[in-house]
A = this chain, B = another copy of it.
């Protein structure tokens, strides 16, 4: 299968390759008659310009690399969806890379992305440490963080205010009449979704209930660890009437445990989730949850990255998108 090039088009239409190039890039600069001939030849030969050759000249590939922990995580998938849609709008494609939080793998990906001349990188969802920062630096590509941030290294980012969201979560539960409130938190070593939500929650209770809350157990944002955390929490304090979970999946784990004990949600215990992924609408009961604008986070991240790539200045390096509380069925007003 011979690859057909601009030369073939030129020959068939009886013009020079420059003219063909012109009808591709500045059609008005070519006399109508010739232009038509060229266009016809392009159709006839089913010619597609070679983006590699173009990229070599333009130094822009309209491709960007996306580093994510795992595409099968619904939250991540939601963010990616927003990125892809915005990418289509802007004519850029996404190269997907699952890191599984494996640093070595990330370094390898970054290397091939650099070689493939991607215009930029968006890094999603994971905390940034000194080492990551070094790696980003070395690769020397525009980068934006989506659903994560890095104040100390001043990398552009898009996310919600997690601490405030958790604070609001606490307030919401209090408003609903709860005073004996528990939390299933992510690990506090997680500086994005763990620690800030933990802190925000505690602060909310301190401010409104003047109480130092110790009804907190920990898991890893997933179903199983949360199931067990709920068990511990219930053992520790069965008088709890509401628990705030640091992710929707955790909320489901908690509900599942309570279900085995014959404890009803929300009649006996209220559950408040976090994320508002699709499962929040499909569980029984449907989850009341802190909604993160996953799709918007993705869109904004791409938008911001494009600005960086094209050298525009950013209005704000760190942008916070608003969270909301989506009320469904898992929290009861006492």
Q: Are B48 and A114 in touch, CB under 8 angstroms?
A: yes
**Cα(A292)–Cα(B140), bound, Å:** 42
**CB under 8 Å from chain B, chain A span 72-118:** 72, 74, 77-78, 80-81, 84-85, 88, 91, 93-98, 105, 111-112, 114-117
**CB under 8 Å from chain B, chain A span 46-82:** 46, 48-53, 55-56, 59, 61, 63, 70-72, 74, 77-78, 80-81
A26 interface residue per 8 A CB criterion:
no
Partner of A50, one of B3, B96, B115: B115
**Cα(A252)–Cα(B280), bound, Å:** 12
Q: Are A117 and B249 in touch, CB under 8 angstroms?
A: no
How does the 8 Å CB contact mask read for A227-257 relative to B, with 1 for contact and 0 for none?
0000000000000000000000100110110
Partner of A259, one of B48, B80, B85, B284: B284
Q: Are A56 and B50 in touch, CB under 8 angstroms?
A: yes
**Cα(A42)–Cα(B117), bound, Å:** 17
Partner of A1, one of B56, B98, B140: B140
How does the 8 Å CB contact mask read for A257-271 relative to B, with 1 for contact and 0 for none?
001000000000000
Copies of this chain, count? 2
Q: Are B85 and A81 in touch, CB under 8 angstroms?
A: no
Chain B, residue nearest A259 (CB): B284
Contacts of A59 in B (CB 8 A): 3
Binding site for B on A (CB under 8 A): 1, 3, 46, 48-53, 55-56, 59, 61, 63, 70-72, 74, 77-78, 80-81, 84-85, 88, 91, 93-98, 105, 111-112, 114-117, 138, 140, 223, 249, 252-253, 255-256, 259, 278-279, 281-284
